[in-house]
Amino acid sequence: MGKTIVSLVSDQTIPNVMFIKANGDAERLVFITTEEMEKKQRTDWILKSVGIKIPPDKVEKIIVSEQSISEIQRKLREYPFFDRNAEILVNLTGGNKIMSLAAYEFFKEKSLQNQNITKMYYLNVGGDKFDMVFPSEQKNCICSGHCNLKEYLTAYSIEEEKTEKLPIMKFEKTWEFYSKIFEPERNTIKIILKKINGNFDNYKKLQEQLSGNEKKDVFRLLKKVFGDFEFTKPKIKYLTGGWFEEYIYFLIKRGLKLNNEQICLNLEIKDKSVSGKAASNEIDVIFIHKNKINIIECKTGLKDISGKSILGDVLYKQSALRKSFGLTAKNFLFLPNVLSGNERQKERAEVYGIGIVDNREMLLDEDRFRSEFLKKNKFV
């Protein structure tokens, strides 16, 4: 007996991907969708994310009006679900409430009439198991399939513009920079930031722009960190903030034992979900854990070179970015030192659901980081 998977399509695509992956031996996929979802190509992105090779004639879409139970059920009656002697698995998690209710009533009624094998499942927000809601006397559940980072991004119509950048220093060296070098060398780092003026390609002219004492300080810092005096773009990026991004990347990766398919550093992405337009962004650290996405912004300072606060802009970017990644996405802002004198902005971050992590002692202690951040946020 073949297996047919029925999925309700909405903006929240990951539950569909997880359910299909958990039942990878299906011979037919049927998507109950809407004109709006098809304009956004949600079904196509789901299929691309799943990556299961099913012939095009085994994938079908039923386009319905999401506001009418009778119209939805009329469309469902036109489809030969019960003519193929197939086991039917229905994922009720997607769609809107009307679509879920219409599908539930339709498949329950037809299943009882035809005495075929129909099972319906639902995944609660943040859950990792699909609970069976029909037949009600059965208490079975299906463990969700696991998505890697690329699959998750694809499901939400987000494409990687460039592959991830690997850390240029080992964890121990970056820990040493954080614990012993960063604070004493803040003034030298500020000199570099001011000279490059936000454009790292300016590193080529950096030596020419430095005065005698400034050049002496910068060369001393290069020697201390890298063991030589060579000016390169990766080195300048590291000294002016890249080190902290690498450090947080290491902390998360080591703390959760993630592989390279689950976490990325400096990932450049393009969101293609809105009317074919593509919005580009770079994410400092992004990782997936238990099928939930986590977005981290790392800042070693919250003022631009003119001394103006950039915290408001950072929070706005994070809150806007979060909307592209689904209901369970989490955002964090990591800082190397305690954020002081910005209580109003801290409250704003809380309203936006952005967690601020700024405890230096905790960040420098992997055991404390595990207990005070990873456990507190239910990663472990």
pLDDT of residue 132: 92
Angle at 240 between CA 235 and CA 245, to 5 degrees: 90
Type of residue found at 98: I
pLDDT of residue 84: 62
Q: Name the one residue in this structure whose structure tokens are 């121990």.
A: 172
pLDDT by 10s per residue, the chain, length 380 = 688 999 999 999 999 999 999 887 888 999 999 999 999 999 999 999 998 777 888 999 999 999 999 999 999 999 988 766 778 999 999 999 999 999 999 999 988 887 678 999 999 887 888 999 998 766 677 777 788 999 999 999 998 876 657 899 999 999 999 999 999 999 999 999 988 887 787 777 888 888 889 999 999 999 999 999 988 999 999 999 999 999 999 999 999 999 999 999 999 988 776 555 557 889 999 999 989 999 999 999 888 777 888 888 888 888 888 888 988 899 999 999 987 766 777 788 888 889 999 999 999 999 999 999 999 999 98
Distance (Å, whole) CA 149 – CA 284: 14
pLDDT of residue 353: 87
pLDDT of residue 339: 78
The closest alpha carbon to 250, from 199, 183, 176, 186, belongs to 176
- Buried b / exposed e along 21-60 (16+ C-beta atoms within 10 A): bbbeebebbbbbbbeebeebebbebbbebbeeebeeeeee
pLDDT of residue 41: 93
Distance (Å, whole) CA 104 – CA 91: 10
Distance (Å, whole) CA 119 – CA 128: 18
pLDDT of residue 137: 67
Do β-strands 277-289 and 292-298 pair in parallel, antiparallel, or remain unpaired? antiparallel
**How buried is residue 366: exposed, middle or buried, by Cβ count under 10 Å (0-12/13-18/19+)?**
middle
pLDDT of residue 163: 62
**Complete DSSP assignment for 191-202:** HHHHHHTT-GGG
pLDDT of residue 277: 57
pLDDT of residue 81: 82
pTM score: 0.90
